[in-house]
């Protein structure tokens, strides 16, 4: 098993909220992550569409897994998201990361979320800080 897979397995096993969200890992490699989530009724808000926190949480998990996949503990410094299309209960969301930049101490990722019709529903940008602490020594 690759280091990235090993790290993310450990992360998601201990991640109660990602489990509540029903997040599935579609793909993991160094600096890359692809996740899936199916929207349930309990994830919707007062407009009868998915709460903005759902797609943010999916993207934020994707950022965490992509940036930690090198085996170095990393955490989010700043994130932004634009919700570009309504998401409804039953929709299947896929978050795909792109590593824009990486230095010794920081990295920048762009994450796009699409639905089952391949329509883009959210655009996310995240900057992480890369510590010196390894996941496994």
Q: Does 93 bind a copy of itself (CB under 8 A)?
A: no
Residue of 74, 65, 93 lying closest to 7 (CA atoms): 65
Q: Does 83 bind a copy of itself (CB under 8 A)?
A: yes
Q: Site for a copy of itself (CB under 8 A): which residue of 22, 52, 88, 134?
A: 52
Q: Site for a copy of itself (CB under 8 A): which residue of 22, 26, 30, 80?
A: 80
Q: Does 2 bind a copy of itself (CB under 8 A)?
A: no
Whether 50 and 98 have beta carbons less than 8 Å apart is answered as no
Render the burial of 90-128: b for 16+ CB within 10 Å, e for the rest.
Answer: ebebbbbbebeeeeeeebbbbbbbbbeeeeebbbbbbbb
Q: Site for a copy of itself (CB under 8 A): which residue of 14, 118, 133, 136?
A: 14
Binding site for a copy of itself (CB under 8 A): 10-18, 20-21, 41-48, 50-54, 56-58, 60-61, 64, 75-85, 100-101, 105-106, 108, 110, 120, 123, 125, 127, 129
């Amino acid at each position: 098993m690759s280091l990235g897979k090993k790290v993310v397995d450990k992360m998601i096993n201990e991640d109660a909220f990602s489990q509540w969200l029903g997040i599935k890992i579609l793909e993991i490699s160094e600096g890359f992550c692809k996740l899936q989530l199916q929207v349930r009724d309990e994830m919707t808000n007062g407009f009868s569409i998915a709460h903005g926190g759902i797609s943010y949480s999916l993207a934020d998990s994707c950022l965490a897994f992509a940036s930690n996949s090198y085996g170095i503990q990393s955490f989010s410094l700043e994130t932004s998201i634009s919700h570009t299309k309504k998401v409804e209960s039953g929709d299947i969301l896929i978050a795909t990361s792109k590593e824009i930049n990486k230095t010794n101490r920081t990295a920048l990722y762009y994450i796009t979320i699409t639905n089952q019709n391949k329509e883009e529903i959210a655009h996310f940008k995240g900057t992480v800080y890369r510590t010196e602490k390894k996941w496994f020594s």
